[in-house]
A and B are shown apart, each in its own frame.
Chain A
Amino acid sequence: MVDNKQQWKAWLYLSPAIVLLLVFTVWPIFNTLRMAFMEGYGNMAAIGGATFEFGVDNFLKVIEYKKFLQCLQNTAILCVATVPISTILALLIAVALNSIKPLQKTLQTIFFLPYVTNSIAIGMVFAAMFNIVGLKQGAGVADTWGIINNVIQFFGGEPINWINAGSSYVANMVVMIIYIVWNALPFKILILLGGLQSINKQYYDAAKVDGTRRGRVLTKITIPLLSPMLAYVIITGFIGGFKEYSSIIGIFGEIMGPADDAGRLNTMVGFVYDALERDRQGRASAAALILFAIILVVTLINNKVIKKRVHY
């Protein structure tokens, strides 16, 4: 215990952090709670001198709003699709990276690059890749210069309208899933590779002595020994997935959907931002709290499921 006379020093040293936390974390959390339960709260209206009654109206409005359900659906689909795919891919890549010696460092760097690249910038590159960049007169969709469609055409396939006006919801989602998976890989590979490298090599020698096949080594030894890292990657993956927002902006721009159906791909976080923009802080707060509740429940379920499978 610090001497009583010295305590003021401790508080002094802690004060910058405490002040920042109070202003930017504690107060906003409290304020969100406050605004969420004030019916129809808006900042401008509040400044104008309006008063708001206490109630759950904001929550009801959010849930009744059709756009909100669309956002919830988009977010859920992205989460459920991308977390397993990116985790499995990251695991396979990490195992492969770990088992090669030459070029390991180089490849590690390459796989890590997306992590240090701005996600909006990556989104724009993806948009260009999946784009239809101009149409030839009278040729319709078939003549495009987006590299993905070029590849599809090269192999004799029909080009697909991925993200432009008139594209289908499924096509949009496929692009989003590919982008999010690719974007999520580096962090997961990094964590899993670190986990792999900390596994005692003798387990593999022991498995070799016992004539264990490679697939069995992966499923019976590597994955169980990696389970704490896998659990971490899955839980943070779900949390990140529920907060998906900038990736949609990156590809579809602020309209959050193809040109003819703006907002079709909006997510929960996007919904919150939209409400804020329209001076509906009460509704935004309610949506944020709903998002928080969903993430909490999913994480608890995750924890419960994973606890049975994390082995030590």
Chain B
Amino acid sequence: MKVVLQNLTKIFPSRDKKANKEVVAVNDFTFEIPDGQLVGLLGPSGCGKSTTLYMISGLQKPTSGKIFFGDDDVTELSTENRGIGLVFQNYALYPHMTVKQNILFPLQNLKGKDKLSKQEMLDRAFEAAKLVQIDELMDRKPSELSGGQQQRVAIARALVKMPRVLLLDEPLSNLDARLRLQTREEIRRIQKETGITTVFVTHDQEEAMSISDIIVVMKLGVVQQIGKPQAVYDDPQNLFVAKFLGTPPINVLEGKVSDGKVYIGEQVVMEVDGVEDQDVYIGIRPEGIEPHPQGVLECRLNNVEIMGRDASVVSTHDAALTPVVRAIISSDITVDTTAETVRFNIKPHKFFLFSKETEQRLYYEVKKHG
């Protein structure tokens, strides 16, 4: 089932009647989620990602715009008639029911021609439980389960009525780091196995990047960029997207373009074509710089953090807007840690220019780089 959002807008009226400041939670969001894909809505808190999810679920009504499931316009349809499964951030499992009763609950609500026999319900419940691997825990109460198990129960409850669309609100935020890794793989597996179009919301870019087919980066209600995770990472359209994606985060420095030369301070770090003379922000991915004795960018060396497989060279630069300039290198490369400074060469495909005025990406062709 594809999901189409058409000019979706949500405006919350101002709480303070005198100030009369409306809050535009989601602004003119248009996007088609292809059938059977896993889509991550990504952004910092207050960016409208949860509001978007709740509008798809029908728990919130859009101020304007339309929502389609397949070819059906569901904008005016109430939640229960949309055929969605929703997993809440804190799971909202009914605490007084066992796992089995929780999973059965949506099925027992069916009426009319959809009504199932007791045996059919049990079969479906066990099938859903097996899918998320909790069929051993059916007689426990939610309070007797770990966070990860509760999460699975919530997913089973959402899946048991075979929804057209599965929605997950911050599915991993209540889990500890190890469980988070495991569960995100699990969500990916379940989504692949069921083939249900799935939308999930997260503020954790790593989470979104690792399991989504498509990510949607949002900021203050406005969609910043939509695309495959790797494509968005490699080709951010503005400074916000560049800064938001990637751990460790991108290094941002102030600079200027003059006569086709990109300056950081007094140093020319690259020669480019196609960019007018102007002040710019320069974004360099940590994996995009490597130490080199004749490197084009000189920074003050702080220290080198070795993390097994790779190492991280931490340095500072006066023009940097980020606290440190960080380079991720293979731990085989040795860096003289006693030196005061370190020089880097720059890989051009990890080097982005943004207009200082609009923070939009400036595309260029490389003439010369070091």
Give A contacts to B, CB under 8 Å. 200, 202-203, 205-206, 208-213, 216, 220-221, 224-225, 227, 311-312
Contact = CB atoms under 8 A, between A and B. Distances in A.
B88 A202 contact: yes
B59 A205 contact: yes
A107 B85 CA distance: 37
A217 to B, nearest CB: 10
Given A209-B57, A209-B59, 18 more contacts: A200-B90, A200-B92, A202-B90, A203-B94, A205-B59, A205-B88, A208-B59, A209-B79, A209-B80, A209-B84, A210-B105, A211-B79, A211-B81, A212-B80, A216-B109, A221-B94, A225-B96, A311-B96
B3 to A, nearest CB: 16
User: Which 4 pairs, one residue from A and one from B, show the smallest C-beta to C-beta distance?
Assistant: A211-B80, A311-B96, A210-B106, A202-B92
A213 B106 CA distance: 11
Interface string B81-125: 100111010101011110000000110111100000000000000
Contacts of A210: 80, 105-106, 109, 157, 161
Given A208-B80, A210-B109, A312 B59 contact: no
A209 B94 CA distance: 14
A218 to B, nearest CB: 14
A213 B79 CA distance: 13
A311 to B, nearest CB: 3
A203 B143 CA distance: 15
Contacts of A216: 108-109
B141 to A, nearest CB: 7
Given A208-B79, A209-B57, A209-B59, A312 B96 contact: yes
Contacts of B90: 200, 202
Contact of A211 (B97, B106, B143): B106
Interface of B: 57, 59, 79-81, 84-86, 88, 90, 92, 94-97, 105-106, 108-111, 141, 143, 157, 161
A206 B85 CA distance: 9
Contacts of B157: 210
A220 B143 CA distance: 18
A206 B88 contact: yes
Nearest to A217: B109
Contacts of A312: 95-96, 141, 143
Main secondary structure of the interface of A (DSSP, over half): helix
Contacts of B161: 210
A226 to B, nearest CB: 10
Contacts of A202: 88, 90, 92
A310 B106 CA distance: 23
A312 B97 CA distance: 10
Given A203-B92, A205-B88, A225-B95, A212 B109 contact: yes
A225 B293 CA distance: 69
Nearest to A216: B109
A312 B144 CA distance: 11
Given A209-B57, A210-B80, A211-B80, A224 B96 contact: yes
21 contacts: A200-B90, A200-B92, A202-B88, A203-B92, A203-B94, A206-B92, A209-B57, A209-B79, A209-B84, A210-B80, A211-B79, A211-B80, A211-B110, A212-B80, A213-B109, A220-B105, A221-B94, A224-B94, A225-B94, A311-B95, A312-B143
B92 A205 contact: yes
A213 to B, nearest CB: 7
A299 to B, nearest CB: 24
Contacts of A227: 96
Interface-central residue, A206, A212, A224, by most chain B CB under 10 Å: A206
Contact of B109 (A200, A203, A211, A224): A211
